[in-house]
Amino acid sequence: MSKQPHFVPFALSLMLFSTSSAMGAEVESFQIPGREEIAAEYKWHLEDLYGSDEEWQTDYNKVKKMLPKVGEYKGKLDSSGKNLLACLMLRDDITKITGKLYPYARMHQDENTADNKYQALTGKAQSLNIEVNTAIAFIEPEIVGIPAERLEKMQKQVKGLGVYSFYLQSLMQQKQHVLSPREEALLSRAGEVAAAPATIFNVLANAEVKFPSIQDERGQEVQLSEGRYSNYLRSSDRRVRQDAFDGILGSYSQYRNTLAATLNGHVKQHVFFAQAHNYKSSQEAALMPNHIPVEVYDNLVATVNRNLTPLHRYVSLKKKALGLEEIHMYDLYAPVVKDVEIRISYPEALELVKNALAPLGEDYIADFNKGISSHWIDVYENQGKRSGAYSWGVYGVHPFVFLNYNGHFSDASTLAHEMGHALHSFYSAKSQPYPTADYVIFTAETASTTNEILLIDYMLAKTADKKEKMYLLNQYLENIRTTLYRQTMFAEFEKEIHDRSEEGETLTADLMEEIYHDLNVKYFGPEMIVDKEIDIEWARIPHFYRNFYVYQYATGYSAATAFAKQLQTEGEAAQERYTNHFLKKGGSDTPIRILKNAGVDMSTPQPIEITLAKFSQLLDELEVLLAQG
């Protein structure tokens, strides 16, 4: 099954680096190279998908011819197990092909976003996907309409249906939430209208909201943007931090009522669809289809709330380390260690990451090497290449990894992260049949983040330089703060506004600012000056338009921390569990059971508590080093 890409934001450096095609090393340059200047060994092999555009077109035509055959099974799935199996197999044959068609076009487009040919091909693939989804839309409602006893009998009579057993079981568990075909059709048609709030938000945030200019550290006037915001918040110049903070949030504040109405509309439509499908709450409606109990979400929030003291300590430490009389929200991202920059060339990063991932075992490293030698990765930035990083698993081929490697430690960490996704897809596809190879976001972020944690732990153990160690400790603490604490605060906000909406309240700008302000006061503690400007921050978070999504970053990081600890302390036993009971399981079971069988039980507070204990340990280490001066 084709995995949708996992995206990681890419922080653009003010200094651009290009590659020397002769040496493949990063060299300082103000010119971004053309794609033809990048050495072939640093480019992915999209020809592994299709040798030519003509081959792509052949498969495209094949799908178009297969689609009418799907309709021949409409209204007939309950007649026999053979019909059901034939229809599911035909659907899979079609989606295996479309799972190659779209990535081929899209990844070529990402190589050069100005390439009109692949823009057109991507659009063509997207349109085909819509045709496919329309053609197969009848399948799941018909399956749900089959009496449970009859469906069970079909599976016993037709052995080939065994591979679909978890899929069919999952569908039947949703039976009480599936309405009549006419009702489902009406709700489906309403989907485009329901998407309007998210569409409006995207237009507002990306096209209408205008950000001011500020002066950077050198006194040069620079235009603020969302992409530059995080860099300026990390500036060692407090004036720059505050100006960026005021500029970005002040700009959103000018649209506070419109943005409140937009988010209110989105939450209301989510509540409407949840109630229409007979869920107890919108939270349950978002979590249940992926087999995540509501208790897992609530347990995360409750556990973090019981452990806010270490975060308050961190705020206090940062205030002291930065020499501030008062610490404000715009100081939160400022590094406590200045003038430290870890530069790592790509070849050095490959060796570093492989050494760091040694706890995963020799087979994992061998497969990592196979990915490198088989050209899974597109490494360097080139003119027209889209920003960011992602991995994309394609069933029956291999994963692909998209980077814009720029020679920073964060780039090495991104390499580890994306190869974590890639090898998760590789092992799932290798070990699972197509219907159970795909995995959900809840587990996806665990595999990638485990690699990140192993890398930074390895770096901390390896470095003898005090300032470098302080820099890494600060980075590690920031990772946990922004991923566990911050995303859980977002999750708590999201649950609160949904609860209020379900109780009949209108989510006004005043109400949401009050909720968000109070959460910041609670999370960051008594020493933090919670500036009024932060109250509008909810208005710039796009993930609030993806229902109950952000908590998975926090649970994924917690599960990854627990796995990393086991891999570092238990050796081969942990390797075996992690590889065979997690990476190779794909989507063959519920994510909670997969993780539990691999050694991490996310239905309990333990993984979260392990992560919070790690935060406290790192904080202790940094306090000692800072005290030494």
Catalytic machinery residues: 418
Residue 277 corresponds to which tokens in the numbers above? 């499908």
Torsion of CA 591, 593, 597, 601, to 10 degrees: 90
| Residue appearing with tokens 């100005």 | 114
Cα angle 519, 337, 488 (rounded to 5 degrees) comes to: 20
**All residues at 6 or more sequence positions from 335 whose CB lies less than 8 Å from its CB, including other chains:** 234, 236, 471, 474
| Residue appearing with tokens 């085909």 | 128
Kindly list the distances between the CA atom of residue 626 and the CA atoms of 324, 357, 469, in Å, as whole numbers in the listed order: 15, 29, 11
Q: What own/partner pairs with CB < 8 Å and gap ≥ 24 does 70-74 have?
A: 70/94, 70/135, 70/136, 71/135, 73/139, 74/138, 74/142
- What number of other Cβ atoms are within 10 A of residue 461's Cβ? 10
Q: Amino acid identity, residue 256?
A: R
| CA–CA gap between residue 1 and residue 393 (Å, rounded) | 8
| CA–CA gap between residue 381 and residue 471 (Å, rounded) | 26
- Which H or E run contains 357? none
CB 546 within 8 A of CB 392: no
Kindly list the distances between the CA atom of residue 326 and the CA atoms of 146, 307, 319, 323, 530, in Å, as whole numbers in the listed order: 65, 23, 7, 9, 11
Neighbouring-strand partners of residue 18: 27
**All residues at 6 or more sequence positions from 314 whose CB lies less than 8 Å from its CB, including other chains:** 477, 481, 615, 619
Residue 295 corresponds to which tokens in the numbers above? 């208790």
CB 483 within 8 A of CB 561: no
